[in-house]
Amino acid sequence: MRSDDVKSGYQRAPNRSLLRSLGVTDREMGLPFIGIANAYNTIVPGHVHLRTLTDKVKEGIIAAGGVPFEFGVIGICDGIAMGHEGMRYSLPSRENIADSIELMTEAHRFDGLVCVGTCDKIVPGMLMAAARCNIPSLMLTGGPMLSGYLAGKELSLIDIFEGVGKVAAGTMSESDLQELECCAMPGCGSCQGLYTANTMACVTEAMGMSLPGCAAIPAVDAGKLRIARESGERVVDLVRSNVRPRDIITIDSLINAIRVDMALGGSTNTVLHLMAIALEAEVPFDLGQFNLIGETTPHICHMQPGGPHSMQALYRAGGIPAVLSELSALLADAPTVSGLSIRQIAKAAVVRDANIIRSVHSPVSPAGGLKILTGSLAPDGAVVKCAAVPKGMWVHQGPARVYDGETAAMKAILAREIKEGDVVVIRYEGPRGAPGMPEMLSPTSALMGLGYTRVALITDGRFSGGTRGPCIGHIAPEAAIGGPIALVRNGDLIALDLFKRTLDLLVPDIELGTRRNEWKPRMKPLTGVLSRYAATVSQANQGAVQKLQTG
């Protein structure tokens, strides 16, 4: 066992002495040491209950013959960080999470690892660490929040974000918005729709890195306590059989994960995170594969925000195992941490509500819910959640309204300076330029709340999984390094075609050449984490990971 490095032989008497001070017994010295990376805190609704789940994980580890050691991991709530300077710190936190788990795991020579987290950057950061350390590991995702409820309608956080735009439009009063605010979020768990947190939980399960059914079980359901206990038991089995993350995270399992993402119509952020996880697992993967998978994967679940169904509805319909059962003919028979293969899990599952998990023969759409676009405005790619775009906006051409940053764009939107047909361009919000590639849920929700139906928004930043409408993000190269988005001027025509997967700036090459010669990089005064991040981060099409510096 790896843990023998800290507990075996007379030379390790000092190490054992410290372990004994923790209460480790002679018998336990001979058992597997299991680390538990717990993202519990009291600021993130998706994490406030994780201490209880982690206690159940510990019970399972002890029952199976292991010794649990818990340590803390940071977690940022994207909803609370949204719309201000705090959002610049969200994506960089993913790298911090991966690094901190690696540091604790390698320093203490754990034999196995259970990662307990729920929300947007936390789950991918944990998966990156598991792939990097490559010791027997699994994920326990904390589960979605129950839906809010008011006047006969189920609510989620997006109702509140879009309510801001309705107040600005005069179609909702501030008192009505406050009533919504008090009803939308009834307790612990990740936000209710298929936003980034829940999408990542779903793809984690489809990837085989969490136990069957884990993703959709609500945070407050007793089933989550049971699967936490089972996760603790199972990790000890993984240690004994030496099944490691890179045995699970393979090209086949990543393709399965993307198929499920496409079938659900998940968050655009999964593109960033799956690219980063593949890099840590040393699995060759490129952005173009998302389109290849999407073309052959029907969109079968019409989930919030583009559709009506919450995660609670998906759970009642059978969860991810039921989705796998409907997709089974398309899936590679990859192994999972449960000991069952993906097809074995799919075969045992039942679709309990065909209105929520539809047949591949009667899908919401014949192709997947995400698309990668390329063209003169995004030579290295851009991402759109086509499942949340009305078909009438799949092809659009309009004049650019350019804003250097989200704050300026938000002011213009709320002031009703945007006209129907416009293409709002928000730039210098990419991985390096922001830095931190913030999400744009506030402006996209404001556009929806104000009632715009023919306005597109493009950015080198990101979108929340809660964004809906013709919103295209992750444009690469970003403005800060001189990508074409830096050269756009007010009034330039921009054309998008989701059918052809294109995004073009309709300006002659000669004119763009002149603008490029005049363009100068924008330098922001940076310190601390953001300074280090901006100096080392890769572009969005490469997963926005921090690169090793050479020379």
DSSP state, residue 32: P
User: Is the separation of the CB atoms in 299 and 265 below 8 Å?
Assistant: yes
SS3 label, residue 74: coil
Polymer length in residues for the chain = 551
SS3 label, residue 499: coil
Nearest to 120 by CA among 238, 276, 256: 276
Q: Is 128 exposed, middle or buried (0-12, 13-18, 19+ CB in 10 A)?
A: buried
* 448/161 Cα distance (integer angstroms): 9
| Residue 25: how many other CB atoms lie within 10 Å | 11
**Bridge-partner residues for 140, per DSSP?**
116
Please report the DSSP string for 173-240 in residue order: -HHHHHHHHHHS--SSSB-SSSSHHHHHHHHHHHHTSS-TTTTTS-TTSHHHHHHHHHHHHHHHHHHH
Catalytic residues, by residue number, are: 464
DSSP element (H, E) containing 81 = helix 78-81
User: Is the separation of the CB atoms in 262 and 532 below 8 Å?
Assistant: no
Burial 107-117 (b: 16+ CB within 10 A, else e): ebbbbbbbbbb
User: Is the separation of the CB atoms in 494 and 505 below 8 Å?
Assistant: yes
Q: Is 1 exposed, middle or buried (0-12, 13-18, 19+ CB in 10 A)?
A: middle
> What is the dihedral angle through the alpha carbons of 255, 257, 259, 264, rounded to the nearest 10 degrees?
-170
User: Is the separation of the CB atoms in 151 and 127 below 8 Å?
Assistant: no
DSSP element (H, E) containing 473 = strand 471-476
Residue with tokens 């050691």, as numbered in its chain: 69
SS3 label, residue 399: strand
